[in-house]
Amino acid sequence: MQKATFAAGCFWGVEATFRRLAGVKSTQVGYTGGKMDHPTYEAVCTDRTGHAEALEVSFDPAVISYNDLLEVFWNNHNPTTLNRQGPDVGSQYRSAIYFHSPEQEALAKTSRDAAQARFPRPIVTEITPAQAFWPAEEYHQQYLEKRGLSNCHI
């Protein structure tokens, strides 16, 4: 098993998208990239903690590759809007890839460069080392699935 961490706006829809993929064994929404230990949703929503709403994915690389996960990431959000996805605005909604190894870093950068051809504006996605990942409150985990929804408003 390997781990991948992505931020692509509101974590509810991001989680729902990745949970459907063969080879993804588990997902967990949470907060990363900030300067506070044990952040809460309320604190992150102030846009003062520096955290992004993120998704941690455990996957079987024999079934789905990290490159495949990167393609899903690029295809399911707008990586050209700084600190925004649709109506959601704030640094917690930024586009970011948090890599867990030098190989993931290289693949993420190569993937970003290839994805740029699909977008008319520059990609602003952060590609940065994985940091402490703080799981979100239980009610955020599999939020859409628990409510019988397949996607968010975006």
What angle, 0 to 180 degrees and rounded to 10, lies between the N-to-C axes of helices 102-115 and 66-75? 40
What would you measure as the largest C-alpha separation in the chain, in angstroms? Answer: 40
Here the contacts of 34-38 (C-beta below 8 Å, separation 24 or greater) are: 37/132, 37/134, 38/134
Rounded-to-integer distance, Cα 148 and Cα 145, Å: 5
Annotation marks residue 45 as catalytic: no
Identify which of 90, 7, 22 has the alpha carbon closest to the alpha carbon of residue 55.
Answer: 7
Give the tokens for residue 56. Answer: 């941690």
Q: From the candidates 4, 7, 8, 10, which is the catalytic residue?
A: 10
**Residues with active-site annotation:** 10
